[in-house]
Structure 1
Amino acid sequence: MKFTLSWLKTHLNTDADLSTILKGLTNIGLEVEGVESPAEKLGAFRIARVLTADPHPQADKLQVLTVDAGDGPLQVVCGAPNARAGLIGVFGAEGAVVPVNGMVLKKTAIRGVESNGMMCSFRELELGEDHDGIIDLDPQAPVGQVYAQWAGLDDPVIDVSITPNRQDCMGVRGIARDLAAAGLGTLNAIIVPEINGAGPGPDVRVDDADGCPAFFARTVKGVTNGQSPEWMARRLKAIGQKPISTLVDITNYLMIDLGRPLHVYDLDVLKGPLVARKGRAGEEVLALNGKTYTVDDTMTVIADDAAVHDIGGIMGGEHSGAQDSTTGVLIECAYFTPERIAMTGQKLALTSDARGRFERGVDPAFLDDGLSIATDLVVKLCGGTPSEATRAGEPPVAANTVRYDPSQCLSLAGVYVGDDEQKRILQSLGFGIEEHDATFDYQDGVPVTTPAYWTVSVPSWRRDVDGWPDLVEEVVRIVGLDQVPSTPLPRTPGVAKATATVEQLMERRVRRTAAARGLSEAINWSFISEKEAASIGGGDWALANPISEDLKVMRPSLLPGLLSASRRNVDRGASSVWLFELGRRYFADRERATASFVLAGEKLPRGWQTGKAQAFTAFDAKSEVVALLAAAGAPVGNLQSFGEASAAYHPGQSGTLRLGPKTVLAEFGVLHPSLAKQFGLTGTVVAGEIFLDAIPAKRRNGFMRAPYAPPALQAVKRDFAFVVDEALEADALVRAVRGADKKSIVDVRLFDVFAGPGVEESKKSLAIEVTLQPGDKSFSQEELDAISASIVKAAEKLGGVLRG
């Protein structure tokens, strides 16, 4: 909904400036989409007089003009056919920017003749579509003045977003009414002229009361159509409406101004009475937009004995609309039901400004007044003699009243507004108020007190108001939505318990940990294709009637979805992909909660030693798995590494983490090359899956951060290197050493693996760092020697020999 500031002030008597009005609109719930002032982009264009116009020596269709824009004569080359000596137009000098294309005007030579600017057309200034010639102004226009100021274009255009329930604000007057209620001025009285008709009204009737309950009309004979007055055309052009002719522009103007759509018919084209009826199968209408529409019996049309002339309430017909030669018109002012308008518009895929208002619901009590205002404008601007009005049907103007207690404003919205202020606001918005005092009576011998209340009459233009909460909304809206306090709801005893389950809390921790480690969350379909399922061993559940063959099998793994997402990221230029997902895997017995991730592309940041990109390794995947398991509450210190990952992973570059030999908590490693290739991924791709449902419940339930208790004494670190069989897993040695003295040994870390000179063939050297933490006193040398001996003994049980 667009309107200019000056247009608004024809209805709103106010001294408020633009910024105050914009803030007021936002505060009362009318969202400002934008504000623009045409004068800002036209400030460099001035009114100029053409002093001379001579033929161009090198081009038949060009002229060489001498132009005076107030600073003396300038030479300009122009190709407009209407350029002539004495013409007053609009001139853009060197440096001006042409609005239509953003071109910066420069001094240039056109066919060998110097040109110092440009005489402009309406289209070049984005003031209309006329491009047949340059602008031809009134001879009295002041030469040298900025054109936008003289033409009244320094009038800001405000664009407001109107929600579907606010049909009353689909006209400038409704917006002015809201601002007046908010204290930004007073609403000017609307003047409804008295029309003294000569002769009977036109023959119109209603045969489809469900679609068109009321059809009011009046004829005006002896009119002279032409161009709209400058004030009307300027306002319409400012909001993007193209002026057509006075008769048509009057209807468009009143639709924007008062929210009342109307239509005018060429009286000489009509054959017989004009009837609002249902459409008939096969009937067609050539609408004003140049397109032909086929109607049916679910639609309301306006027709005479010969043809259909109007798709009721949406768009008129081309052949019966007002033309330049029209001398008599029939003015239609009807009420169409919103439901019928919406259904017809959807069926025909036809939108219009009239439809946008009728399907919201125009004021059914404004037919007489709307017809009188339109008739008065036609007579004043086009002349002619009006007839009496014909009123066919009955508009739905049944009274709507709401019982309201002013205290409900505080109880519902949490905002205290005094009774007098509420009364002022509602009456300013057009509501009627009848106050009722409290009463005291006896019912069956029991004293009953009825508190004071109001009976509020809802105005005919507010079909969205149905009950007392709507009245509270109106009061709070006008007071200002920014005045609603942020008040937390009270916590009712026995209800304020945590609602998240243990599993949900665990998943929340895993999700946050993954994000904190730099992974981005992906959310994929729970269905995959049969081909994708087969690549990871097949799925247990297939849909009999899938919406797509690519979504046929319920996923037995989260990897296919993550791999597809990784490929899409790589295809769009991502050099490093870090994706994770929390979801469910589906098997014949049950669904299983799982967290999975994929790392593909380059490992960032690049290595500082070589400056080259590095590939992900199985150890990168293991690092992520251990971190996520720790977040889930798994006992990561007791986990054992095994090498038997699923077939999705590369043999020898993958593994599993388990609690004992049977309880698999996760698997990780380098993805099998054939699987990566199937999903279009090149290079090394690593992945991991954490089986959240396999984590012991007691660990999940009892997950809690240990209190921070820094040791009183400094830890002691000792390094050991053992020569072991090449087949021995380093994890076995680490676990054995950790168990050598559970009281003193708090951490064991592998930091080196070596095989080569100095180490027997089929052997390897594993170097570990052991952290010892003293308790209430420091370790003595004897105690350290004893602990070291127990470590060596634990390694010897695995065949390890302390390296010399």
Structure 2
Amino acid sequence: MKFSENWLRELVEIKADRAALAHALTMAGLEVEELTALGEGLAGVVVAEIVAAEKHPEADRLQVCMVDAGQAGLLQIVCGAPNARVGIKVPLAMVGASLPGGPSRPSMASGALGLLPGGMSIKAAKLRGVESFGMLCSAKELGIDTDASGLLELPPDALVGLSLADYMGLPDASIELKLTPNRPDCLGLVGLAHDVAALFGSAVKVPAQVAAAVTSEACRGIRLEAGKDAPRYLGRVVEGIDPAARTPLWLAERLRRSGLRPISAMVDIANYVMLELGQPLHAFDNDTLQGDIVVRHARAGETLKLLDGSTAKLDEGFVLIADEHKPLAVAGVMGGFDSRVTDATRNIFLESAHFAPSAIMGRARKLGLHTDASHRFERGVDPELPRRALERATELVLAIAGGHAGPVLVAEHVADLPRPAAVTLRRARLKRVLGADVADAEVARIFTALGMRVEVIADGWQITAPSSRFDIEREEDLIEEVARIFGYDNIPTHSPAGALALAIEPEARINELALREQLAARGYHEAVNLSFLSAELLARWGFTERLVPLANPLSADLAIMRPSLLPGLIEALRHNRARQQERVRMFELARVFAAGDPPVETPSVAVVACGDARAEQWGEPSRQLDFHDLKGDLDALIAWGGEPQRWSVHADGLPAWLHPGRGARVVRDGETVGYLGAVHPQLARTLDLGADVHVLELTLEPLLARRLPLARPVPRFPAVRRDIAMDLPEGVNWSQIEQAVRGSLGPWLQELRLFDRYSGKGVDAGRKSLAMGLILQDASRTLTDDDADRCVREAVAALEQTCKAKLRG
């Protein structure tokens, strides 16, 4: 938001100089990004008129001009500007004047001026043998604009001899604010004036808008067909305007100092009202319109040629302003080319509307545009502004271009308009957050100056924000308003005080940080990946169901919330392998997402590893990582919870991305909680992994569950060991064997150890021999040989019955 300092000072009394004003705005959250002084040091520059001009006898590009500066007699000035001609009024720097800008016409810089540290000093001089007494100036030489293409032409009614600074309202400054998106009310000078009034304890001086006299019956029907996207639309026909009317200097200068180039009277008036009030407007050539104005959604494939000459390809998401036969403008973005106001336009239709921010947001960007109107409508424009802005624009049109105004035409859906709600601010809460006492009278003054309605209640205030303040939604927003206007510098600095309530870590749950440390101690590096993945990558893994797509993704590669941690970890592993890292071991603790209402978030832990099982060393030969290495890491994590008997692994029910012969399903209490094993060879080729990669992914909560510590006396009686060798089918897994033995021996079995596996000669094909040790112990007595023999018989019987096992001799 760029504006003229003098313009702002007309709207509100500011008891501070320019530097103090800029500092106050910045400290109030309205950061001054740039401040450019305009027209400083113009003493000795006056309005002058060229009354005669002849070609210089010794230079083709110079003219010898006779200039009337309001003094006795004419002044002879040598000028090289291409637009110097008889009859125009231009700025004249008299002899002795000092200008702030640098010379823009090198052919003149040979004796007519002398360079000083602050700019240039005008002297009488001879240019190619002809005397020159002063200099006719461009806007750049005066330091009020960057235009150096020719002399600054002034309006014909400019009074010759008048000080240019007085005539143009100089000196001034162009101030640019870096506004946050939650302050669209400050995109108009009147809205900004309320903040300035609150900061400096003054009042806004904007007069009430008077309705223009209706002197024409011209009207046009308006139909709203866009629902809540366009709940209010106002229009007015103004007939008989002067198409040759020129924008007055004061208005053109305010636009120029606000960063906008004057174009034509109608366009300039619309831009001026937008800068003043914050409400974008648009003017159509009324003679090009047919029938009623229709505010509707665009149809698929509909196109419109815009003011900039481009063709907009629209879809149903756009709101259009149309008549009964054709589209006229993209609502909130830009008007159409064919209905624009031209130099021949005598009858205009002025529109002023309120559009919902969600209906305009992103539409200009979709068309490759960014306009002042879309910038404001995307952030939110006061729904009560359209009538005031329409009346203000009508007032300026009638004053500048004449004409006859028709009645204000209104169409609205009141139920769809936003309504400000009252918000309670508690006195105690304000003091607690700010750490300072702000007097009740000062609080009331701040909110009143900001245009809010204040009602005092027992424990504070009930505040109702104006319709322009979309950002006031909760108590914290009101506290922020008090803080920034009261002044952050006025809030005392205190060290935090008070006792902190320490959270008690439950003994039945392992801390996540401790789990991270355990994995790091086992040689894994923690990775942190984005929560978004591409649909293409997930399809390679076979993740196609219960996906959670993003409504507004950053890119196509980040369009889906991750259903698993493994795709992201594998991509990180590939990235490391591509940089000569052969042994990669990484883990990640994060959430995964599945479709639901609302989407289901599940904390998970995943591990990926490849390369050698051990880091390179001399003590043992190198060996590639295999399934059992990763299974050992899983067993270590499970053992930490103190209940390994509740866990088991099974070779069935594997996902498509896991190797069918080197993978396992991890189960706790009969419920699948994750998977373990080598990546499927086909997926490995698709992802170009280049080596065996082993992975593990588990739901996190079961892994963090821990048995409560229970103190037990050291056993007084010795343990007994019996070894057995069983012949079993190859398909029987260890978890089935362990479950059968533990179920038959009960509390006497302290541990079951597998110490040998054999298949080959002496064992039938499709079978295997497992040798295991039974560690038996009773807390109340020493077990006898008969007890131990009975346990062996019961264990063998259980294995024979459940696992089709045979005892080997």
- The TM-score with structure 1 as length reference comes to 0.57
Alignment of 1:743-782 (within 5 A): none
* Mapped contact 2:307–2:337 kept (Cα < 8 A): yes
* Mapped contact 2:307–2:335 kept (Cα < 8 A): yes
Distance in 1 between residues matched to 2:581 and 2:108, nearest whole Å: 64
Distance in 1 between residues matched to 2:485 and 2:615, nearest whole Å: 53
* Mapped contact 2:90–2:137 kept (Cα < 8 A): no
1:37 and 2:37 aligned: yes
CA gap 1:454/1:492 in 2 versus in 1, 3 angstroms: same
1:55 and 2:74 aligned: no
* Mapped contact 1:120–1:135 kept (Cα < 8 A): no
Deviations 1:576-620 (A, max 9, x none): xxxxxxxxx99755899xxxxxxxxxxxxxxxxxxxxxxxxxxxx
1:22 and 2:22 aligned: yes
Residue aligning to 1:252: 271
User: SS of the counterpart of 1:268?
Assistant: helix
> 2:492 aligned to 464, 485, 507, which one?
485
Residue aligning to 1:409: 430
Letter in 1 for 2:399: K
Residue aligning to 2:172: 155
Pairwise CA distance, 1:100: 8.0
1:469 and 2:476 aligned: yes
CA gap 1:259/1:180 in 2 versus in 1, 3 angstroms: same
Pairwise CA distance, 1:77: 4.5
* Mapped contact 1:415–1:484 kept (Cα < 8 A): yes
Distance in 1 between residues matched to 2:393 and 2:473, nearest whole Å: 31
Alignment of 1:209-288 (within 5 A): 209-225=227-243, 226-288=245-307
* Mapped contact 2:68–2:160 kept (Cα < 8 A): no
* Mapped contact 1:406–1:422 kept (Cα < 8 A): no
Gap runs ≥5 in structure 1: 438-451, 506-523, 527-540, 559-584, 593-804
1:172 and 2:170 aligned: no
Distance in 2 between residues matched to 1:345 and 1:413, nearest whole Å: 40
Which moves more between the two structures, 202-211 or 80-89?
A: 80-89
Letter in 1 for 2:468: W
Distance in 2 between residues matched to 1:432 and 1:217, nearest whole Å: 30
Residue aligning to 2:522: none
* Mapped contact 1:543–1:552 kept (Cα < 8 A): no
CA gap 1:93/1:549 in 2 versus in 1, 3 angstroms: farther
Residue aligning to 1:202: 220
Letter in 1 for 2:85: A
CA gap 1:123/1:205 in 2 versus in 1, 3 angstroms: farther
Alignment of 1:163-562 (within 5 A): 163-197=180-214, 198-199=216-217, 201-225=219-243, 226-394=245-413, 396-437=417-458, 452-490=459-497, 492=499, 495=502, 545=571, 552-553=578-579, 555=581
CA gap 1:179/1:364 in 2 versus in 1, 3 angstroms: same
CA gap 1:41/1:546 in 2 versus in 1, 3 angstroms: farther
* Mapped contact 2:38–2:171 kept (Cα < 8 A): yes
Distance in 1 between residues matched to 2:361 and 2:54, nearest whole Å: 59
CA gap 1:547/1:201 in 2 versus in 1, 3 angstroms: farther
Pairwise CA distance, 1:306: 3.4
* Mapped contact 2:49–2:160 kept (Cα < 8 A): no
CA gap 1:320/1:64 in 2 versus in 1, 3 angstroms: same
Pairwise CA distance, 1:359: 0.8
Distance in 2 between residues matched to 1:84 and 1:411, nearest whole Å: 72
Distance in 1 between residues matched to 2:408 and 2:225, nearest whole Å: 19
Letter in 2 for 1:432: R
Pairwise CA distance, 1:468: 0.8
User: SS of the counterpart of 2:291?
Assistant: coil
Pairwise CA distance, 1:413: 2.4
* Mapped contact 2:90–2:136 kept (Cα < 8 A): no
Residue aligning to 1:511: none
Give the total of aligned pairs.
519
Letter in 2 for 1:552: A
Pairwise CA distance, 1:262: 0.9
Letter in 2 for 1:342: M
Residue aligning to 2:637: none
Pairwise CA distance, 1:368: 2.1
User: SS of the counterpart of 1:210?
Assistant: helix
CA gap 1:546/1:476 in 2 versus in 1, 3 angstroms: closer
User: SS of the counterpart of 1:255?
Assistant: helix
Residue aligning to 2:65: 65
Residue aligning to 1:106: 109
User: SS of the counterpart of 2:392?
Assistant: helix
Which moves more between the two structures, 112-121 or 228-237?
A: 112-121
* Mapped contact 1:37–1:155 kept (Cα < 8 A): yes
Residue aligning to 2:740: none
Pairwise CA distance, 1:453: 4.3
User: SS of the counterpart of 1:186?
Assistant: coil
Letter in 2 for 1:224: D
CA gap 1:212/1:549 in 2 versus in 1, 3 angstroms: same
CA gap 1:73/1:486 in 2 versus in 1, 3 angstroms: same
Distance in 1 between residues matched to 2:273 and 2:343, nearest whole Å: 20
Alignment of 1:76-115 (within 5 A): 76-78=78-80, 80=82, 82-84=84-86, 89-91=91-93, 99=102, 106-107=109-110, 113=129
> What percent of counterpart residues are identical?
30
* Mapped contact 2:303–2:311 kept (Cα < 8 A): yes
Deviations 1:761-782 (A, max 9, x none): xxxxxxxxxxxxxxxxxxxxxx
Distance in 2 between residues matched to 1:254 and 1:240, nearest whole Å: 14
Give the RMSD, CA atoms, in angstroms.
Answer: 4.2
CA gap 1:434/1:151 in 2 versus in 1, 3 angstroms: closer
Distance in 1 between residues matched to 2:83 and 2:384, nearest whole Å: 52
Letter in 2 for 1:284: T
CA gap 1:100/1:304 in 2 versus in 1, 3 angstroms: farther
Deviations 1:627-649 (A, max 9, x none): xxxxxxxxxxxxxxxxxxxxxxx
Pairwise CA distance, 1:334: 0.5
Gap runs ≥5 in structure 2: 113-125, 505-510, 518-526, 530-566, 585-608, 617-809
Residue aligning to 2:668: none
Residue aligning to 1:798: none
Letter in 2 for 1:460: S
* Mapped contact 1:227–1:244 kept (Cα < 8 A): no
Alignment of 1:566-715 (within 5 A): 588=612
Letter in 1 for 2:54: D
User: SS of the counterpart of 1:331?
Assistant: strand
Distance in 1 between residues matched to 2:291 and 2:157, nearest whole Å: 48
CA gap 1:87/1:165 in 2 versus in 1, 3 angstroms: closer
Pairwise CA distance, 1:339: 1.5
Letter in 2 for 1:320: S
Deviations 1:327-347 (A, max 9, x none): 111111111111221121221
Pairwise CA distance, 1:160: 1.7
Letter in 1 for 2:454: I
Pairwise CA distance, 1:222: 1.5
User: SS of the counterpart of 2:200?
Assistant: coil
* Mapped contact 1:122–1:135 kept (Cα < 8 A): no
User: SS of the counterpart of 2:229?
Assistant: coil
Distance in 2 between residues matched to 1:32 and 1:205, nearest whole Å: 42
Distance in 1 between residues matched to 2:82 and 2:362, nearest whole Å: 48
Distance in 2 between residues matched to 1:256 and 1:209, nearest whole Å: 28
Distance in 1 between residues matched to 2:147 and 2:577, nearest whole Å: 52
Distance in 1 between residues matched to 2:217 and 2:90, nearest whole Å: 47
Distance in 2 between residues matched to 1:146 and 1:548, nearest whole Å: 74
Distance in 2 between residues matched to 1:289 and 1:380, nearest whole Å: 28
